[in-house]
């Protein structure tokens, strides 16, 4: 297992390198750049724009610009720090901008993942064991409604109803204006209240599909010969379901977990913009609109690393759940 993890970590570097190169070249295909906006400002001289372009190597061919960006990362890594360049639009290092927002995005994504999986797995098992019952039909109907509702639309509805009409939940953001005057418990409660709507919206989108997948996996396993044999031997039904069937039915769900992490990050981006949540989504949107190339590259790099790490965690969990999986 340790050798497998080391091999996977070693393959991370070429994957991230290829992903960053392709992303950089795609950004270059867009017309104009950040300095084109500066040239339209009559208060900024041509000499100033030319000096800034030379300072950030933006006056050189794209492949050379990418080389300088990559060189900064390698040199900074030798000194145990991460230099992703300088955000021209935010007027501060890219790593500082991302670090300030990444924690908020991870807080939202992890909350949504916990709720999604803790609710979807039991519902999927119940629906499979009680197939075609009223409970199964009720959860199936809820799943179809959840999958058909766009997340941003549901977020707008919840913000309007619970925020504007009832006034029981905050309307967007992560902190109230009086946050600094609150006690420690008050600050935690204030942040939790702001997280309710974006977390519930994200969780509903993932829960609807996951509980259907879990139901299908469980039904397939319950029809297998060894389950019939276990029941014929007189084993208790709970032991057949939770000890023998569930272990095999959960394997595909673990594989999905790696992709869920990255998809929640991308799904959270749009939701953060709708809810005014201060996460990576807002930063990435502002960076794309202002063509802040280093900030876009830094955000995409973090997303790619999260995808690879998420898949690695899923593989390790799969080996723990199913000892038959070999990593030789």
Q: What is the pLDDT of residues 26-63, one digit of tens each?
A: 888 877 777 777 777 777 778 887 887 787 787 888 88
Q: Is 98-321 a domain of CATH 3.40.640.10?
A: no
**CA–CA distance, 296 with 26 (Å, rounded to integer):** 11
Number of neighbouring beta carbons within 10 Å of residue 3: 9
Alpha-carbon span 283 to 293, nearest angstrom: 12
Q: What percent of the chain has pLDDT over 90?
A: 7
Residue 123, pLDDT score: 93
pLDDT interval class at 196 (50, 70, 90): very high
Average pLDDT, the chain: 83
Q: What are the start-end ranges of the E strands in the chain? A: 86-87, 92-93
pLDDT in tens, 163-178: 888 888 888 888 888 8
Backbone angles phi, psi at 171, to 5 degrees: -95, 90
Can you give the pTM of this predicted structure?
A: 0.78
Q: Average pLDDT in the 212-235 region?
A: 88
Pairwise CA distance, residues 194 & 173, whole Å: 7
Look at 224 and 44; give whichever has higher pLDDT.
224
- At which residue do the structure tokens 């900064």 appear? 72
CA distances from 85 to 60, 161, 293, 304 (A): 16, 42, 9, 17
- DSSP letter, residue 166: S
d(C-alpha 236, C-alpha 258), whole Å: 34
> Which residues of the chain are in CATH 1.10.3720.10 domains?
98-321
Tens-digit pLDDT profile for residues 72-101: 888 877 777 777 888 877 888 888 888 888
């Amino acid at each position: 297992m340790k050798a497998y993890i080391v091999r996977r970590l070693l393959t991370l570097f070429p994957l991230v390198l290829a992903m960053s190169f392709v992303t950089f070249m795609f950004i270059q295909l867009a017309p104009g750049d950040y300095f084109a906006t500066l040239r339209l400002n009559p208060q900024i001289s041509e000499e100033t724009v030319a000096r800034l372009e030379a300072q950030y190597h933006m006056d050189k061919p794209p492949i050379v610009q990418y080389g300088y960006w990559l060189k900064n990362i390698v040199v900074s890594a030798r000194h145990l720090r991460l230099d992703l360049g300088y955000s021209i639009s935010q007027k501060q290092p890219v790593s500082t901008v991302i670090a300030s927002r990444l924690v908020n995005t991870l807080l939202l994504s992890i909350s949504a993942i916990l709720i999604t999986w803790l609710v979807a797995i039991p519902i999927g098992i119940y629906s499979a064991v009680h197939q075609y019952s009223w409970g199964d039909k009720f959860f199936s109907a809820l799943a179809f409604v959840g999958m058909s509702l766009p997340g941003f639309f549901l977020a707008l509805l919840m913000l309007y109803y619970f925020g504007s009409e009832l006034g029981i939940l905050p309307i967007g953001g992560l902190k109230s204006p009086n946050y600094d005057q609150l006690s420690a418990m008050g600050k935690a409660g204030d942040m939790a209240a702001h997280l309710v709507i974006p977390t519930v919206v994200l969780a509903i989108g993932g829960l609807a599909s996951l509980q259907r997948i879990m139901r299908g996996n469980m039904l397939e396993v319950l029809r297998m010969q060894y389950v019939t044999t276990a029941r014929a031997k007189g084993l208790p039904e709970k032991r057949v379901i939770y000890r023998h069937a569930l272990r095999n039915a959960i394997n595909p769900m673990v594989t999905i977990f790696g992709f869920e992490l990255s998809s929640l990050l991308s799904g959270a981006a749009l939701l953060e913009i709708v809810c005014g949540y201060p996460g990576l989504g807002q930063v990435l949107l502002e960076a794309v609109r202002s063509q802040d190339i280093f900030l876009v590259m830094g955000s995409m790099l973090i997303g790619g690393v999260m995808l690879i790490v998420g898949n690695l965690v899923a593989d390790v969990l799969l080996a723990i759940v199913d000892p038959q999986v070999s990593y030789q």
